[in-house]
Structure 1
Amino acid sequence: MRTAGGATAAVAASAGATGTAAAQEEQPDWPSGVTGGNLGEYMDARGESEVTVEVGAGDSGLAFNPTQLWVDTGTTITFEWTGSGGAHNVVTVEGEAELDSGDPVDEEGYTYEYEVAEEDAGITHYHCVPHDAVGMHAGIAVGEDVPTVETGGGSNGWPENIAHVGIPIHAHWVGIAAMLGIAVTFVFTFYMLKYGESAHTGHGGNQ
């Protein structure tokens, strides 16, 4: 009982620690136009000099992937067309980065590069003009000085203090429950041995 309980507590503690770490993760505070975009994948690419965003991602080809991207200044973002979902383009809705890939294109492998500059610091919301109404929106966060929010808090149901997990059961209650189970087993066995046979067993053909 002690070994099993210890193992369970260790697993619970690990899960609780994971939950705490998730609660402390920070992401940019994306505007609603970005969070409402199709696909919804997030990438923290800070520290990377180059990153690629798929244009025409997802099952229907009507999304950017990643949809939410956090980068440093100086990063080169390459928007690469998948060829799915029709003709797309990349145009800023609001924010500091001036994204504009031009006319919509449906050619697979077509690319548009944007090098992030210091004046792009902040959060930029962009979209595909032909598919604005169907949710083809995304966002780029640039630099460290952006508003952030904590994400993942409470999503797994584990409290930060592992002592609050479950209901404590004292050892004597466990012993009483075990003894009661043994007693019930004996009573059931005795009953089956004494009364378990059919009422007609042993009476031969007289019935």
Structure 2
Amino acid sequence: MKRREFVRTAGGASAAVAASAGATGTASAQEAEPDWPSGASSGNVGSYQDARGESEVTVQVGAGDQGLAFDPTLLWVDPGTTIIFEWTGSGGDHNVQTVEGGGPASLDSGDPIGEEGHTYEYETSEEDAGITHYHCVPHTAVGMHGGIAVGGDVPTVETGGNTGWPENIAHVGVPLHAHWVGIAAILGIALTFVFTFYLLKYGESAHTGHGGNQ
């Protein structure tokens, strides 16, 4: 391989490694989630759904193995979204009610009921902007809590996004941590400089000795 061809090839490889590292860094960027009050975030099941952009979303009342949860437990919606609370019939009698001082949305489905298929609809508005913590009154002590965030102007926290490492170790094979890719990129660039140095000084790669140009 001629010197100029080698330098062009090595330079292209270095650029490709650097681009790969940059892309991985973007993929692992952190994601924002509403800063839920502890009472809401510790609710049973603990599922979260970002339903912004949707006109209607359903929350199961009486979800989980024991029927003592809301699912999704934490929900982010736009003003004007209709939230349909639908009873599963599990876990006994439930209701939906904003906890005292729990936020701007005035959720109140009335007396507890256990009928499967029963629904309670709540249409959010600009007045509900912010984060609301609600619960099932009969089961508040056992963790049947939930949260609703309305609008884009709510306090948020970074959740970490794609960390590059699977929660289940059996899924190894997905993208690695960004810092490992960065280290690999640095090593790749360093090796490129080493080979370029040998080629320019001796006219060949470091693996063929110093016999001069072939």
Normalising by structure 2, report the TM-score. Answer: 0.67
Taking only aligned residues, the RMSD between alpha carbons, in angstroms, comes to: 2.9
| Partner residue, 2:27 | 18
| Partner residue, 1:28 | 34
In structure 2, distance between residues paired with 1:65 and 1:15: 32
From 76, 79, 101, the equivalent of 2:82 is 76
Pairwise CA distance, 1:167:
9.4
Asked if 1:44 corresponds to 2:53, the answer is no
What count of residue pairs does the alignment treat as equivalent? 166
In structure 2, give the amino acid aligned to 1:55.
V
- Residue 153 to residue 114, structure 1, CA distance change in 2 (3 Å): closer
In structure 2, distance between residues paired with 1:167 and 1:160: 11
Q: Which runs of 4+ in 1 moved over 6 A?
A: 9-14, 169-172
From 134, 137, 140, the equivalent of 1:129 is 137
In structure 1, distance between residues paired with 2:94 and 2:39: 18
Pairwise CA distance, 1:160:
5.3
Encode CA deviations 1:72-103: one digit per residue, 9 max, x unaligned.
11111110000011111001010000001111
Gaps of at least 5 residues in structure 1 are 1-8, 177-207
In structure 2, give the amino acid aligned to 1:164.
I
| Partner residue, 1:202 | none
Pairwise CA distance, 1:34:
1.1
In structure 1, distance between residues paired with 2:71 and 2:88: 11
Is the 1:89–1:105 Cα contact (8 Å) retained in structure 2? yes
Q: Secondary structure of 1:131's match?
A: helix
Encode CA deviations 1:122-143: one digit per residue, 9 max, x unaligned.
0000001111111110000001
In structure 1, distance between residues paired with 2:184 and 2:131: 39
In structure 2, give the amino acid aligned to 1:129.
V
- Residue 165 to residue 54, structure 1, CA distance change in 2 (3 Å): farther
In structure 2, distance between residues paired with 1:41 and 1:124: 16
From 62, 66, 69, the equivalent of 2:68 is 62
Is the 1:89–1:103 Cα contact (8 Å) retained in structure 2? yes
Percent identity at matched positions? 65
Pairwise CA distance, 1:15:
5.7
| Partner residue, 1:186 | none
Pairwise CA distance, 1:153:
5.3
Encode CA deviations 1:148-176: one digit per residue, 9 max, x unaligned.
1111258446135722259949699xx99
| Partner residue, 1:5 | none
**Mapping for residues 1-207 of structure 1, pairs under 5 Å:** 17-20=26-29, 23=30, 25-93=31-99, 94-152=102-160, 155-156=163-164, 158-159=177-178, 162-164=181-183, 168=187
Q: Secondary structure of 1:130's match?
A: helix
Normalising by structure 1, report the TM-score. Answer: 0.70
- Residue 165 to residue 123, structure 1, CA distance change in 2 (3 Å): farther
Encode CA deviations 1:10-33: one digit per residue, 9 max, x unaligned.
99887654323xx2x111111111
Larger radius of gyration: 1
Gaps of at least 5 residues in structure 2 are 1-16, 166-176, 195-205, 208-214
